[in-house]
Amino acid sequence: MSGPSRRGLLTGGAAGAVGLAAGGLWGVGVSRPEPDPALAVTLSRGGPRNGLPPALLTPTPAHVRVVALEVVGDGGEEVAARAREVVESWRDEIRALHEHGLEGVVEGAPTQGLRPASLGITLGLGGSLLERSGLGGRRPEELADLPDFAGDRLRQEWCGGDLMLHVGAEDPVVSGSAARHLVGLAGDRVRVRWALPGFRRGAVTAKDPSSTPRNLMGQIDGTVNPHPDQAVFASQVLAVHPDPATAWMDGGAYVVVRRIRMLLDGWFAMPEHEREQVVGRRLDDGAPLGGSKEDDRPNLVARDDAGRSVIAQDAHIRLASPENTLGARMLRRGFDYDLGWDSQGRVDAGLLFTAWQADPRTGFTAVQRSLDEGGDALGDHIRHEGSAVFAVPPAGEDGQVPDPELWG
């Protein structure tokens, strides 16, 4: 295994301006001959505590490939053994990929000639894997299947999965190629159930790479989120499992992945103030209606001169707020997806929504229930089409994929 180490290859004047201070540093390459130091975003490898999966490190990569796989087999020890083999083979490979990039691992890789692109690979386990392997006793209650929600229009072929690969990078050639390489390595022991590439505004094109990105509806999305620097982060995002049967998830996180189509065909024809009412925030700067800047706390009791709520009763941020959800919190990491048009000629694009939390029952599910019950105004403009929940165990001491012996 040879190849350049990614550490310290590229750091610039803006180093540390974005991202966490702790841990060794990885540079993010930008596709220019002479990188502008202001665009050289520096990533950390360790996060605020050991065991944080790469998917939760900041800054969020510009590209992601989420792949859900089924382990082939009828069940029991056959499935358990295959899953262990697959995860075991991925462990070493993921370490090598993080260290050397795909071009250092695979001869002739499509990533040759690219600068380091902050490849970060995170592995998740579905509840179905534990059940099918005869390890139901090790399934934490937090990993229960999600309930049905009123607005669900799920397509089963875009739901579930025994294993998840979440591959992030600054370049889609890197994320896609690394995902394909790992799936190929698993061979006929697995079958891809569904996969979705997602992206966000890249650091290269953003005038201010530290600003909150916009989603494909044009909204500033991701403002209210626990930050790894905050004391509440661990209690809201990282799971606590003192019980030996589920201790393999102690310090891990549960990720809910939803494929949410945006019904964009008529969205931009709506008057701007109506689009703002849907979410309860201004479109230009993301400030809550009635507020003056993005990080103002929404005033949910404010009324206008006519006595109407400034933030509508069915506004998305009102119904998703801690006030309406018993303080439910999760870390939302949304990525855009854009597959063009479907066979009916309708735009096929939306949000590859990922929500990370200590317990989806009091996190995602509590919020989605509140959105449903309050008649979320955004609900008329989106459609949930895919869904899955995975357990992401804490990474090992070396920051890598955990040993499959832990859960099996």
* Active-site annotation, residues: 221
Contacts of 20 (CB under 8 A, 6+ apart): 44, 46, 47, 48, 57, 58, 228, 229
382 binds ligand HEM (CB under 6 A): yes
Residue selected from 337, 353, 356, 407 as contacting ligand HEM according to rule CB under 6 A: 353
Among 66, 249, 351, 358, binds ligand HEM (CB under 6 A): 351
Stretch of residues binding ligand HEM (CB under 6 A), selected from 36-44, 115-123, 189-197, 257-265? 257-265
Among 159, 320, 377, 388, binds ligand HEM (CB under 6 A): 320
**How many Cβ atoms are within 10 Å of 184's Cβ, its own excluded?**
9
Please count the other Cβ atoms lying within 10 Å of the Cβ belonging to residue 89. 15
Q: Which of the residues 159 through 178 are near ligand HEM (CB under 6 A)?
A: none
Give the binding range for ligand HEM (CB under 6 A) out of 8-16, 58-66, 226-234, 318-326: 318-326
Cβ 293 vs Cβ 287: under 8 Å: yes
**Angstrom distance (rounded) from CA 404 to CA 255:** 19
The b/e string for 279-315 (b: 16+ C-beta within 10 A; e otherwise) is bbbbbeebbbbbbeebeeebebeeeeeeeebbbbebb
User: Shortest Cβ distance from residue 335 to ligand HEM (Å)?
Assistant: 11
Residue reference for tokens 């930008």: 30
Q: Considering only 44-52, 70-78, 345-353, 393-401, which stretch makes contact with ligand HEM by CB under 6 A?
A: 345-353
Q: Which stretch binds ligand HEM (CB under 6 A): 34-42, 131-139, 171-179, 349-357?
A: 349-357
**Residues within window 101-130 making contact with ligand HEM, judged by CB under 6 A:** none
What region, left, alpha or beta, does residue 67 occupy, with left being phi > 0 and alpha being psi -120 to 50 degrees?
beta
- Structure-block tokens of residue 73: 């087999």
334 CB-near residues (< 8 Å, 6+ apart): 200, 215, 221, 222, 351, 352, 353, 354
C-alpha closest to that of 402 among 55, 125, 34: 125
Q: In terms of Cα–Cα distance, which of 122, 141, 94, 102 is closest to 245?
A: 141
* Minimum CB distance to ligand HEM, residue 230 (Å): 14
Q: Quick one: which of 350, 161, 353, 337 has its CA closest to 257?
A: 353
By beta-carbon proximity to ligand HEM, the closer residue of 83 and 311 is 311
State in angstroms the smallest separation of the CB of 312 from ligand HEM. Answer: 14
Q: How far is the CB of 353 from ligand HEM (least distance, A)?
A: 5
Q: How far is the CB of 177 from ligand HEM (least distance, A)?
A: 28
Residue 90 structure tokens: 């991925």
Q: Which of 64, 102, 255, 279 binds ligand HEM (CB under 6 A)?
A: 279
Residue 321 engages ligand HEM in binding (rule: CB under 6 A):
yes
Give yes or no for residue 357 binding ligand HEM (CB under 6 A).
no
Q: Smaller CB distance to ligand HEM: residue 94 or 382? A: 382
Residue 248 touches ligand HEM, criterion: CB under 6 A: no
Number of residues in the chain: 408
- Is position 90 an interface residue for ligand HEM (rule: CB under 6 A)? no
Residue of 364, 390, 393, 401 that binds ligand HEM (CB under 6 A)? 364
Q: How many CB atoms lie within 10 A of CB 177?
A: 24
Task: Name 351's Cβ contacts closer than 8 Å, sequence gap at least 6.
Answer: 215, 216, 221, 258, 260, 262, 334, 335, 336, 337, 382
CA of residue 150 relative to chain centroid, distance: 23
262 binds ligand HEM (CB under 6 A): yes
Q: Please give the structure tokens belonging to residue 375.
A: 């008649």
CB of 304 to ligand HEM, least distance (A): 20
| Number of chain residues interacting with ligand HEM (CB under 6 A) | 28
Q: Is 281 in the site for ligand HEM (CB under 6 A)?
A: yes
Binding mask 204-243 for ligand HEM (x = CB under 6 A): -----------x-x-x-xxxx-------------------
CA atoms within 13 A on the CB side of 263: 12
Q: Which helix (H) or strand (E) element contains residue 281?
A: none
Q: How far is the CB of 272 from ligand HEM (least distance, A)?
A: 14
**Nearest distance from residue 288's CB to ligand HEM, in Å?**
7
Contact between 287 and ligand HEM by CB under 6 A: the answer reads no
Enumerate binding residues for ligand HEM (CB under 6 A).
215, 217, 219, 221-224, 258, 260, 262, 279, 281, 298, 316-317, 320-322, 332, 350-351, 353, 364, 367-368, 371, 378, 382
